[in-house]
Amino acid sequence: MSHPIQSPFVEIERADWARLAPRMPNPLTEDEVRRLRGLGDRLELREVAEVYLPLSRLVSLYQESAARLHRETHAYLGTAAHPTPFVIGVAGSVAVGKSTTARLLEELLRRWEGSPRVELLTTDGFLHPNRVLEERGLMERKGFPESYDRRALLGFVSRVKAGEAEVRAPVYSHLTYDIVPGEEVVVRRPDILIVEGLNVLQPPPAGSHLAVSDLFDFSIYVDARTSAIREWYIDRFWALKQSAFQDPQSYFHRFADMTRTQARMYSEDVWDSINGPNLVEHILPTRPRADLVLRKADDHTIRSVLLRKL
């Protein structure tokens, strides 16, 4: 007789999760929340207090515990202990709000005891340049695992994790939709590194024994119903059409004069042919690999939290 597979997570409803909130005032102002909020997100101060403040405290506890174990292990072995950055992965679909989650965590973690140095890296900088994607016939698969320089990303996080003094990464422009030649972001021995991207929880590709997710000390997946994310993407495309796409330097400036109907038809097609399949085939299957899942309702608010059983 077969037994049902038990979930590795315990689900905590938002009201119960909110009770874990530290007894401290919200460290962020309305203006700061507005600055951190992504296009289409409905993040409010109340959600910061009820969801993200307890989350940041939980992550800080994991980080403190990892640092203590690191020190005690070296003391036991009689070897010199060098600080090791605590690496957090944040994954999820296009338009689900993972970038907002990552930016918010960065701000909140900096404000905990000891004021740890926190750096945020988005994996967009490790997309292959458009020239390379065009040569390989991958422009229509931008965001799929094969569109990234996964070896370079793994090398970057490995060097940060090893404590190198300076580690450099390429810079991606959402204006030009491409890697910026000659520009770099420099990471200098942070206490915490947050790595945010679509596919950061992917297992090792064929022929490899190590993935960037193997270097994470804690990982978060931002989740919602696929149909809701599709609508968020369509709404975001329209909002971008009215704002960023109006810039003549924008890669998408050719869409600036689209009507509402044209914009919806185009964004529906992009979702159904690119972002939707990427979510279903590559991103969603990585959800069980996360330590914590933020589950959103259709209105973009956090409904519940799934925490991996210890």
Binding residues: 92-99
Residue of 13, 90, 24 whose CA lies nearest to 53:
24
Please answer whether residues 154 and 212 qualify as being in contact, where contact means their C-beta atoms are separated by less than 8 angstroms. Answer: yes
Own/partner pairs, 60-66, CB within 8 angstroms, 24+ separation: 60/109, 60/112, 60/113, 60/116, 62/86, 62/217, 62/218, 63/109, 63/116, 63/191, 63/192, 63/217, 63/218, 66/217
d(CA 112, CA 21): 13
d(CA 262, CA 100): 28
Please answer whether residues 224 and 25 qualify as being in contact, where contact means their C-beta atoms are separated by less than 8 angstroms. Answer: no
Summarize the annotated binding site for ATP as residue ranges. 92-99
d(CA 11, CA 14): 9
d(CA 169, CA 140): 24
Please answer whether residues 118 and 110 qualify as being in contact, where contact means their C-beta atoms are separated by less than 8 angstroms. Answer: yes
d(CA 90, CA 198): 8
